[in-house]
Amino acid sequence: MTGSVRLLLADDEHLIRGALATLLSLEDDLVIVAEAASGPEALAMARAHEPDVAVLDLQMPGADGVKVATSLRAELPGCKVLIVTSHGRPGHLKRALEAGVRGFVPKTVSAQRLAEIIRTVHAGNRYVDPELAADAIAAGDSPLTAREAEVLELAADGAPVAEIAERAALSQGTVRNYLSSAVSKLGAENRHAAVRLARERGWV
Protein backbone atom coordinates (compact mmCIF):
# COMPACT_ATOMS: atom_id res chain seq x y z
CA MET A 1 0.00 0.00 0.00
CA THR A 2 2.48 2.66 1.05
CA GLY A 3 5.77 2.95 -0.79
CA SER A 4 8.90 2.86 1.28
CA VAL A 5 9.37 4.95 4.37
CA ARG A 6 12.11 7.55 4.02
CA LEU A 7 14.15 7.85 7.22
CA LEU A 8 16.50 10.36 8.79
CA LEU A 9 18.80 8.84 11.43
CA ALA A 10 20.48 11.08 13.98
CA ASP A 11 22.79 9.87 16.74
CA ASP A 12 26.19 11.14 17.74
CA GLU A 13 27.56 7.66 18.23
CA HIS A 14 28.88 6.52 14.90
CA LEU A 15 28.95 2.92 15.94
CA ILE A 16 25.30 2.86 16.83
CA ARG A 17 24.10 5.01 14.00
CA GLY A 18 25.93 2.95 11.45
CA ALA A 19 24.78 -0.30 12.95
CA LEU A 20 21.23 0.92 13.10
CA ALA A 21 21.35 2.13 9.54
CA THR A 22 22.49 -1.26 8.37
CA LEU A 23 19.86 -3.12 10.34
CA LEU A 24 16.97 -0.90 9.33
CA SER A 25 18.05 -1.05 5.73
CA LEU A 26 17.45 -4.79 5.84
CA GLU A 27 13.74 -4.05 6.14
CA ASP A 28 12.26 -3.89 2.66
CA ASP A 29 10.01 -0.95 3.32
CA LEU A 30 12.51 1.28 5.12
CA VAL A 31 15.13 3.40 3.41
CA ILE A 32 17.58 5.72 5.12
CA VAL A 33 17.91 8.92 3.17
CA ALA A 34 20.12 10.85 5.59
CA GLU A 35 22.24 10.52 8.71
CA ALA A 36 23.41 13.12 11.20
CA ALA A 37 25.71 13.19 14.22
CA SER A 38 24.46 16.36 15.91
CA GLY A 39 21.31 18.39 16.48
CA PRO A 40 22.03 21.14 13.95
CA GLU A 41 23.21 18.64 11.40
CA ALA A 42 19.98 16.69 11.84
CA LEU A 43 17.99 19.82 11.10
CA ALA A 44 20.01 20.61 8.01
CA MET A 45 19.67 17.06 6.75
CA ALA A 46 15.94 17.10 7.36
CA ARG A 47 15.55 20.30 5.35
CA ALA A 48 17.58 18.90 2.52
CA HIS A 49 15.98 15.47 2.32
CA GLU A 50 12.49 15.91 3.80
CA PRO A 51 12.24 12.44 5.35
CA ASP A 52 8.94 10.83 6.34
CA VAL A 53 10.21 9.88 9.78
CA ALA A 54 13.12 11.30 11.77
CA VAL A 55 14.65 8.91 14.29
CA LEU A 56 16.50 11.10 16.78
CA ASP A 57 18.69 10.29 19.73
CA LEU A 58 17.66 12.26 22.78
CA GLN A 59 21.14 13.32 23.72
CA MET A 60 23.19 14.86 20.97
CA PRO A 61 25.72 17.65 20.87
CA GLY A 62 24.44 21.01 19.71
CA ALA A 63 20.73 20.60 20.27
CA ASP A 64 18.99 17.66 21.87
CA GLY A 65 16.34 15.56 20.22
CA VAL A 66 13.47 17.52 21.69
CA LYS A 67 14.82 20.84 20.45
CA VAL A 68 15.30 19.41 17.00
CA ALA A 69 11.76 18.05 17.13
CA THR A 70 10.39 21.47 17.97
CA SER A 71 12.13 23.06 15.01
CA LEU A 72 11.12 20.24 12.70
CA ARG A 73 7.50 20.56 13.68
CA ALA A 74 7.52 24.15 12.51
CA GLU A 75 9.50 23.64 9.33
CA LEU A 76 8.42 20.21 8.16
CA PRO A 77 5.03 19.40 9.67
CA GLY A 78 4.78 16.28 7.55
CA CYS A 79 7.88 14.75 9.09
CA LYS A 80 7.07 12.53 12.06
CA VAL A 81 9.60 12.48 14.87
CA LEU A 82 10.57 9.37 16.81
CA ILE A 83 12.87 9.80 19.79
CA VAL A 84 15.20 7.02 20.88
CA THR A 85 16.98 7.26 24.19
CA SER A 86 19.30 5.38 26.51
CA HIS A 87 18.31 6.97 29.79
CA GLY A 88 14.56 7.19 30.01
CA ARG A 89 13.90 10.07 32.34
CA PRO A 90 10.21 10.79 32.86
CA GLY A 91 10.47 14.53 32.31
CA HIS A 92 12.03 14.11 28.91
CA LEU A 93 9.05 12.15 27.74
CA LYS A 94 6.70 14.90 28.78
CA ARG A 95 8.77 17.59 27.09
CA ALA A 96 9.02 15.44 24.01
CA LEU A 97 5.28 14.93 23.72
CA GLU A 98 4.75 18.66 24.16
CA ALA A 99 7.15 19.21 21.29
CA GLY A 100 4.91 17.12 19.06
CA VAL A 101 7.05 14.00 19.05
CA ARG A 102 5.09 10.97 17.77
CA GLY A 103 7.11 8.20 19.33
CA PHE A 104 9.41 7.68 22.30
CA VAL A 105 11.30 4.46 22.89
CA PRO A 106 14.29 3.29 24.93
CA LYS A 107 17.30 1.77 23.23
CA THR A 108 16.54 -1.50 24.93
CA VAL A 109 14.04 -2.47 22.21
CA SER A 110 15.18 -4.72 19.41
CA ALA A 111 15.71 -3.52 15.87
CA GLN A 112 12.69 -5.48 14.64
CA ARG A 113 10.57 -3.79 17.23
CA LEU A 114 11.98 -0.41 16.25
CA ALA A 115 11.14 -1.06 12.64
CA GLU A 116 7.56 -1.86 13.60
CA ILE A 117 7.35 1.29 15.65
CA ILE A 118 8.67 3.34 12.77
CA ARG A 119 5.87 1.96 10.64
CA THR A 120 3.34 2.71 13.38
CA VAL A 121 4.50 6.28 13.60
CA HIS A 122 4.63 6.66 9.86
CA ALA A 123 1.03 5.52 9.66
CA GLY A 124 0.08 8.51 11.77
CA ASN A 125 -0.21 6.77 15.10
CA ARG A 126 1.72 7.47 18.24
CA TYR A 127 3.86 5.09 20.20
CA VAL A 128 5.28 5.50 23.68
CA ASP A 129 7.14 2.75 25.45
CA PRO A 130 4.77 1.42 28.14
CA GLU A 131 7.41 1.29 30.83
CA LEU A 132 8.53 4.85 30.25
CA ALA A 133 4.91 5.96 30.18
CA ALA A 134 4.30 4.28 33.53
CA ASP A 135 7.34 5.99 35.01
CA ALA A 136 6.19 9.34 33.72
CA ILE A 137 2.74 8.89 35.21
CA ALA A 138 4.22 7.75 38.49
CA ALA A 139 6.52 10.76 38.65
CA GLY A 140 3.58 13.02 37.93
CA ASP A 141 3.75 16.70 37.27
CA SER A 142 6.35 18.97 38.73
CA PRO A 143 5.14 20.60 41.94
CA LEU A 144 7.66 23.40 41.44
CA THR A 145 6.77 26.88 40.29
CA ALA A 146 8.73 28.31 37.38
CA ARG A 147 10.94 30.35 39.66
CA GLU A 148 11.64 27.49 41.99
CA ALA A 149 12.69 25.34 39.08
CA GLU A 150 14.87 28.10 37.69
CA VAL A 151 16.66 28.69 40.95
CA LEU A 152 17.07 24.98 41.49
CA GLU A 153 18.66 24.65 38.10
CA LEU A 154 21.12 27.41 38.86
CA ALA A 155 21.95 25.60 42.08
CA ALA A 156 22.64 22.43 40.14
CA ASP A 157 26.39 22.78 39.83
CA GLY A 158 26.93 23.56 43.47
CA ALA A 159 27.10 27.32 43.16
CA PRO A 160 26.70 29.26 46.41
CA VAL A 161 23.56 31.30 47.03
CA ALA A 162 25.32 34.56 46.27
CA GLU A 163 26.13 33.45 42.76
CA ILE A 164 22.66 32.08 42.14
CA ALA A 165 21.17 35.35 43.33
CA GLU A 166 23.34 37.30 40.94
CA ARG A 167 22.65 35.08 37.97
CA ALA A 168 18.92 35.10 38.60
CA ALA A 169 18.87 38.82 39.48
CA LEU A 170 17.19 38.08 42.79
CA SER A 171 18.07 38.91 46.37
CA GLN A 172 19.85 36.25 48.34
CA GLY A 173 16.98 35.99 50.75
CA THR A 174 14.55 35.31 47.92
CA VAL A 175 16.82 32.65 46.51
CA ARG A 176 16.98 30.96 49.86
CA ASN A 177 13.23 31.06 50.15
CA TYR A 178 12.74 29.48 46.75
CA LEU A 179 15.32 26.84 47.44
CA SER A 180 13.78 26.14 50.78
CA SER A 181 10.30 25.67 49.36
CA ALA A 182 11.64 23.55 46.51
CA VAL A 183 13.50 21.36 48.97
CA SER A 184 10.46 20.85 51.15
CA LYS A 185 8.19 20.18 48.16
CA LEU A 186 10.56 17.48 47.00
CA GLY A 187 11.00 16.09 50.49
CA ALA A 188 14.76 16.37 50.20
CA GLU A 189 17.34 16.85 52.92
CA ASN A 190 18.96 19.85 51.31
CA ARG A 191 19.16 21.66 48.02
CA HIS A 192 21.69 19.31 46.51
CA ALA A 193 19.64 16.25 47.17
CA ALA A 194 16.70 18.22 45.79
CA VAL A 195 18.60 18.87 42.58
CA ARG A 196 19.29 15.18 42.29
CA LEU A 197 15.65 14.26 42.81
CA ALA A 198 14.39 16.86 40.37
CA ARG A 199 16.89 15.59 37.82
CA GLU A 200 15.77 12.01 38.27
CA ARG A 201 12.16 12.95 37.72
CA GLY A 202 12.99 15.15 34.81
CA TRP A 203 11.68 18.32 36.44
CA VAL A 204 14.69 20.44 35.69
Partner DNA sequence: GCGGCCTCCTGACATTTGTCATGCGGAGTG
Partner DNA sequence: CACTCCGCATGACAAATGTCAGGAGGCCGC
93 versus 155: smaller Cβ distance to DNA: 155
158 binds its own copies (CB under 8 A): yes
14 binds its own copies (CB under 8 A): yes
153 binds its own copies (CB under 8 A): no
120 versus 180: smaller Cβ distance to DNA: 180
Minimum distance, C-beta of residue 23 to its own copies, in the bound complex (Å)? 5
- Other C-beta atoms lying within 10 Å of the C-beta of residue 74: 8
Q: Which does 179 bind (CB under 5 to 8 A by kind): DNA, its own copies, none?
A: DNA
125 versus 190: smaller Cβ distance to its own copies: 190
29 versus 189: smaller Cβ distance to DNA: 189
Binding residues vs its own copies (CB under 8 A): 12-16, 18-20, 22-23, 26, 84, 86, 106-111, 114, 157-160, 188-196
